[in-house]
Structure 1
Amino acid sequence: MPRRVTVLEVGLLVVLVGLAGCAGMGTSVESTATSTTDPATTAGATTADTPVSTPGSGYETRTVTLRDENGTRLATVDVWVADTFTKRYVGLSDTSALEPGRGMLFVFDGEDGRSFVMRNMDFPLDMVFVAADGTITTIHHAPVESDGDLTEYTGRAKYVLEVPMGYTNRTGVDVGDRLRVDGA
């Protein structure tokens, strides 16, 4: 069952967004949630005994392709698209596990400094920050944290792809490689 955002959390977000706007800050704190594995890679896959929860309805799905500087395909990931404030805030934080080849792509209106945290996450992630032109600018490997003091993972991005921790290492995805959203 997806976690519902409380009125108190929404109120706090409104205050924080208002303060960030007043201060002229260009960053946004987002929830992370996610995962994906390349169809050719089974690491990070769920087992038959692991229940899989998915984001609530209303998420568009797409396929992203990751290529190296020579254009060689490194991986593909089927993603849920988080393209509104609410979808980006919740992310996959209420997802207990993901099917192989799944993940989440956070989409913003423009390229800017972005900050993500591991709020309510049950599994570790790789966070792939991607510029407006599709170039990977930063990759973070983020372990699961308690909801106390959360680490902020930052980078310059229009898109942020979240996949299971270690996915970028297994597939050879690195800073400078390219991400392409199919159909975009």
Structure 2
Amino acid sequence: MRRRRLLAALGAGSVSAVAGCQGGDTGGDSSDDSGDAAATWPTGPYASYETTTVTVTSTDGETRGTVTAAVARSAPRRELGLSAVDSMPTTGGMLFVYETTGTHQYDTQDMAFDLDLVYADSDRTITAIRDAPVPTDDAATTYAGEGKYMLAVTAEWTDTNGVAVDDTLEFSL
């Protein structure tokens, strides 16, 4: 499988990482696995990863959606990103964790399907949401955001669940 390239960081003291997948679902809400009834996450090379349930909560306390996320804390795991899977259910994701808040840039050059990238600060408040479509050519496609955490989920998950900037990520590490 193709691996992502670690890019140069944006801004002083920031860290780069990669978020991309090989194959998988293209969207849906947190309660629908798009017909993949036997879907479990994480699988394959991620089966040994720490996992956490990530719930997005609105500013008025309403639950927007929930996913089970593989946790990528180390630089090698962040660099691998989601590039080693053939699919990911709409109820799955990957939570990238950094020691400090900074600007992080994600290269999606070899992605096989679209993702939503959700950036959150040290208080876990969402600072940015980026649609990360499959690139149409070989040129690197990057998506930057400010945060300590980045949650990668299947495309349109944020729209389907009404996720917005200033909502909060809730999870235990």
Q: TM-score range by the shorter chain?
A: 0.7 to 0.9
Q: 1:27 to 1:149 in 2, by over 3 A?
A: farther
Q: 1:109 to 1:126 in 2, by over 3 A?
A: same
Offset of residue 146 of structure 1? 6.0
Offset of residue 135 of structure 1? 0.5
Query: Could you tell me which amino acid in structure 2 is paired with residue 30 of structure 1?
Result: A
CA distance in 2, matches of 1:86, 1:175: 28
Give the secondary-structure state (helix, strand or coil) at the position aligned to 1:134. Answer: coil
Rg bigger for which structure?
1
1:77 to 62, 67, 75: 67
The reply to whether residue 41 of structure 1 matches residue 5 of structure 2 is no
Name structure 2 gaps, 5 residues minimum: none
Q: 1:37 to 1:161 in 2, by over 3 A?
A: farther
5 Å-filtered alignment, 1:1-184, equals 3=1, 25-33=12-20, 38-42=29-33, 45=34, 47=36, 54-56=43-45, 57-145=47-135, 148-181=138-171, 183-184=172-173
Residue pair 1:95, 1:122 contacting (<8 A) in 2 also: no
- What percent identity do the matched residue pairs reach? 34
Please report the TM-score for the alignment, with normalisation by the length of structure 1: 0.77
CA distance in 1, matches of 2:141, 2:123: 27
Q: 1:72 to 1:53 in 2, by over 3 A?
A: closer
Give the secondary-structure state (helix, strand or coil) at the position aligned to 1:41. Answer: coil
Residue pair 1:53, 1:95 contacting (<8 A) in 2 also: no
Offset of residue 55 of structure 1? 4.8
Query: Could you tell me which amino acid in structure 2 is paired with residue 26 of structure 1?
Result: G
Residue pair 2:107, 2:141 contacting (<8 A) in 1 also: yes
Offset of residue 39 of structure 1? 3.8
Query: Could you tell me which amino acid in structure 1 is paired with residue 73 of structure 2?
Result: D
Name structure 1 gaps, 5 residues minimum: none
Residue pair 1:105, 1:159 contacting (<8 A) in 2 also: yes
Number of equivalences: 166
Q: 1:86 to 1:55 in 2, by over 3 A?
A: farther
Give the secondary-structure state (helix, strand or coil) at the position aligned to 2:69. Answer: strand
Q: 1:91 to 1:175 in 2, by over 3 A?
A: same
